Structure 1
Amino acid sequence: MLVVVANDLPPAVRGRMKLWFVEPRANIFISGVKDSVAKKVIDYLIKHCPSESGVVMFRSLPEPPGYEIRTIGPTRKALIEISGLQLVVETLKSN
């Protein structure tokens, strides 16, 4: 499975993504493509999306931890890696 979340994709890339992915909301794409196809899609996005696109890609893996997170450009939330586990940093808001 591959999930792609973007702030803004170039129109040609977004149109191509719509061919194989479900787009439940603008610039959020989900597909159950095979691992080899997911790698090709990620390579395509890295090649054709400028850093301003703010893309986060979540790809399922058959081995632990079960997923991989890749990004293009700056994202709203920071990613960290702890003991080989990729995590999205959430900040707590105080009242």
Structure 2
Amino acid sequence: MKLWFVEPRANVFVSGIKDSVARTVIDYLYKHCPPESGIVMFRSLPQPPGYEVFNIGPTRKSMTQICGLQLVIETLKSL
């Protein structure tokens, strides 16, 4: 996995390869990773919004979709 994607945070992978190869890797992971993996993957797209988010199993961050835009919910820590 780390050969094709950048891992900026544990179990968060960002595609650094051509879209077609990234899609092949993501499809492979969906077939072979257990549901409890907790993986989040970002793939770049040539059209807006410029990315697509995939996940396998429950993740530490919640995800939502607003007007077709996939977003990761970050909670603010109190000061």
Shorter-chain TM-score bucket reads 0.7 to 0.9
Match of 2:65 in 1: 81
Aligned length: 79
Match of 2:42 in 1: 58
CA RMSD of aligned residues (A): 2.3
Share of identical aligned residues, percent?
A: 76
Question: Is residue 46 of structure 1 aligned with residue 25 of structure 2?
Answer: no
Q: How high is the TM-score relative to the length of structure 1?
A: 0.69
Work out which structure has the larger RCO, using CA pairs closer than 8 Å and 6 or more positions apart in sequence.
1
Q: CA separation in 2, counterparts of 1:59 and 1:51?
A: 20
Task: Check whether the contact 2:11–2:39 (CA below 8 A) recurs between aligned residues.
Answer: no
Change (3 A) 1:68 1:23: closer
Match of 1:71 in 2: 55
Gaps in structure 2 of 5+ consecutive residues:
none
Give structure 1 regions of 4+ aligned residues with deviation exceeding 3 angstroms.
18-31
When you count strand as a share of all residues, which structure comes out higher?
2
When you count helix as a share of all residues, which structure comes out higher?
1
One-letter amino acid of the counterpart of residue 42, structure 2: F
Change (3 A) 1:62 1:47: same
Gaps in structure 1 of 5+ consecutive residues:
1-16
